[in-house]
């Protein structure tokens, strides 16, 4: 008799290579790498002494600190990230936007979504040039993030 497992056989794990970015300022697309989706809670420590002379330290959650998001993709004639970063360098005051990263399955069905708010490019760079290689050039953008929510 063959061994079977109980329950429905269905893939529920997400594959990290099926994702795209969509920003409210019109920048969107597929990227080869997206990192920094996370946050860290500051730890607030308070030390008390008891009536017996012992001390104890209590730890409480403090301020949430969101990591910067780094996006990479093949460099194309699309200059939207470059122009956005340049406008900040040139003194534009309206530079923040909101957006999301969407993870899909192979059919394009949305499996997960992270929404980030008040992001802006704190760094833009292109890969180095080298006449000894035929590698594609890449564009890298670091987005400063004020908040991150996993919606789905």
User: What does the pLDDT look like over 75-89, one tens digit per residue?
Assistant: 989 899 899 999 999
pLDDT value at position 4? 66
Do 53 and 70 contact (CB within 8 A), yes or no?
Answer: no
Q: Is position 100 within any domain?
A: yes
Q: Is position 43 within any domain?
A: no
- 125: domain CATH number is 2.30.110.20
The span from the CA of 141 to the CA of 151, in Å, is 23
Q: Is position 31 within any domain?
A: yes
The span from the CA of 103 to the CA of 37, in Å, is 13
| In the predicted structure, residue 96 carries a pLDDT above the cut 80 | yes
The span from the CA of 115 to the CA of 106, in Å, is 21
| In the predicted structure, residue 101 carries a pLDDT above the cut 90 | yes
Q: Is position 44 within any domain?
A: no
Q: How many CB atoms lie within 10 A of CB 100?
A: 19
Q: Which residue has the higher pLDDT, 130 or 1?
A: 130
Total structural domains in the chain? 1
pLDDT value at position 12? 66
Q: Which residue has the higher pLDDT, 120 or 54?
A: 120
pLDDT value at position 139? 93
Q: Is position 113 within any domain?
A: yes
Structural domain span for residue 91: 22-37+69-150
Q: Is position 83 within any domain?
A: yes
Region 96-100: mean pLDDT is 95
Residue 41 banded pLDDT, cuts 50, 70, 90: very high
Q: Is position 14 within any domain?
A: no
Q: Output the 3-class SS for 18-87.
A: CEEEEECCCCEECCCEEECCCEEEEEEEEEEECCCCCEEEEEEEEEEEECCEEEEEECCCCCHHHHHHHH
Region 110-130: mean pLDDT is 92
Q: Is position 5 within any domain?
A: no
| In the predicted structure, residue 109 carries a pLDDT above the cut 90 | no
Do 126 and 141 contact (CB within 8 A), yes or no?
Answer: no
pLDDT value at position 16? 72
**Nearest-5° Cα angle at 139, 133 to 141:** 150
Work out the mean pLDDT of the chain and round it to a whole number: 88
């Amino acid at each position: 008799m063959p061994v079977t497992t109980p329950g429905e056989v269905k893939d529920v794990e997400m594959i990290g290579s099926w994702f795209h970015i969509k920003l409210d300022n019109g920048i969107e697309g597929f990227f080869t790498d997206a990192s920094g989706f996370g946050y860290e809670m500051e730890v607030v420590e308070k030390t008390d002494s008891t009536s017996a002379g012992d001390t104890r330290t209590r730890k409480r959650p403090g301020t949430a600190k969101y990591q910067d998001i780094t996006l990479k993709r093949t460099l194309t004639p699309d200059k939207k990230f470059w122009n956005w970063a340049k406008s900040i360098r040139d003194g534009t005051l309206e530079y923040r936007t909101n957006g999301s990263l969407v993870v899909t399955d192979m059919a394009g069905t949305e499996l997960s979504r992270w929404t980030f708010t008040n992001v802006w490019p704190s760094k833009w760079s292109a890969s180095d040039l080298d006449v000894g290689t035929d590698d594609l050039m890449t564009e890298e953008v670091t987005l400063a993030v004020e908040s991150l929510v996993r919606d789905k």
